[in-house]
Copies of this chain bind each other. A is one copy, B any other.
């Protein structure tokens, strides 16, 4: 008899992973409206941006201000992506609740995306840990292992290498680790096999699965992870997102479809789906001309739908 977790968290990454991959630049006011309405719809973990040089990613140049606003919402866990120590220092200064340092298990992708070898990223995490400890801030440090199921540049990424790097991140001082199918290569069986091993290494420090829908499997992959007890998933409203260094890798799991799968399966997310669908419509209107994804916004909730109790 399959036992699913009673609750799960969808961490909204549309404001970061979503917006970084598209041309349209939302205003700070639009992002604040998005945050406010996502919060009102019950979302309590939101990645608000990325502390990368604004020249590289003008879409996220206002991350400082968006983070400052997010900090005013009681009980919201506001996270940011940081590519390096410099970004982490900004995150600490801005009192982010969580910062995610991405590491690509694919050496080719790591060099293209971060201009560092994976083991150099591990060293950077150790420096970030030292800076955090010295700062007196409580900002949680998450090491996110990306291209964990393969890579558009190098093809195969060996699971042993993924797990070795995950262990190295923990050894270097990561509070948590997560796995990402950055390019949409994962299948649910590979997810089961890798996450089972990741859980053996990281235990309850394994915190999140990040799946892309490039080949229609984001939800199946999330379900495979959920079946193993994983209780946190990254997703992006309207499924926006991708990876600038992974051609063809379009679309995160869409928040609204994932929320439907979880709630319909009896896993409580505390998300009000009709409210979320209204926000989805608004964000899609801001992003006219950009590719959006997902199915629930078109089909609507089933007549027999009951949110998880």
- Shortest Cβ gap from A209 to chain B (Å): 14
From A20-28, A42-50, A212-220, A278-286, give the one contacting chain B.
Answer: A212-220
Q: Are A189 and B296 in contact (CB under 8 A)?
A: no
A289 located at the interface, meaning its Cβ lies under 8 Å from any Cβ of chain B in the complex? no
Chain B residues with Cβ below 8 Å from A196 are: 1
CA distance A254 to B214 in the complex (A): 14
A172 to chain B, nearest CB (A): 27
Q: Is the CB of A261 within 8 A of B217?
A: yes
Q: How far is the CA of A263 from the CA of B11 in the complex (A)?
A: 30
- Contact (Cβ within 8 A) B156 A214: no
Stretch at the interface among A52-60, A119-127, A161-169, A180-188: A180-188
9 A-B pairs with CB atoms under 8 Å apart are: A150-B304, A156-B303, A188-B220, A188-B223, A188-B265, A216-B254, A217-B261, A223-B223, A248-B299
Q: A187-B261, A264-B190 are in contact. Are A215 and B299 (CB under 8 A)?
A: yes
Which residues of B sit under 8 angstroms from A222, Cβ to Cβ? 220
CB-CB under 8 A from A152, the residues of chain B are: 302-303
* Complex-state Cα separation, A156 to B213, whole angstroms: 30
What's the nearest-Cβ distance from chain B to residue A194, in Å? 12
A2 at the interface (CB under 8 A from B): yes
With A and B bound together, what is the CA distance between A152 and B300 in angstroms? 11
- Kindly state whether residue A257 has any CB partner on chain B within 8 Å: yes
Q: Which of A239-274 contact B (CB under 8 A)?
A: 248, 250, 254, 257, 260-261, 264-267
B295 touches A216 (CB 8 A): yes
Select from chain B the residue with minimum beta-carbon distance to A249.
B299
A185 touches B304 (CB 8 A): yes
CA–CA, A1 to B197, complex, Å?
Answer: 11
In the assembled complex, A35 has its CB within 8 A of some CB on chain B = no
Interface residue? A19 (CB, 8 A)? no
Q: Kindly state the separation between the CA atoms of A190 and B48 in the bound complex, as whole angstroms.
A: 34
B151 touches A220 (CB 8 A): no
Contacts A215-B260, A217-B219, A304-B150 given; does A189 touch B248 at CB 8 Å: no
The contact of A187 among B150, B192, B224, B265, by CB within 8 Å, is B265
Chain B residues with CB under 8 Å of A18's CB are: none
Q: Which residue of B lies closest to A192 (CB)?
A: B2
A143 in the interface, Cβ–Cβ < 8 Å? no
Contact among B216, B224, B257 with A296 in the assembled complex (CB-CB below 8 Å): B216
CB distance from A195 to the nearest CB of B (A): 11
A248, B217: Cβ atoms closer than 8 Å: no
Q: Are A189 and B2 in contact (CB under 8 A)?
A: yes
A155 within 8 A of B: yes
Residue A294 is within 8 A (CB to CB) of chain B in the complex: yes
Tell which of A187, A193, A250, A267 has the most Cβ of chain B within 10 Å.
A187
**Does A77 have its Cβ within 8 Å of any Cβ on chain B?**
no
Contact indicator A190/B1 (Cβ below 8 Å): no
Residue A4 is within 8 A (CB to CB) of chain B in the complex: yes
Q: What's the minimum C-beta distance from A214 to chain B, rounded to whole angstroms?
A: 5
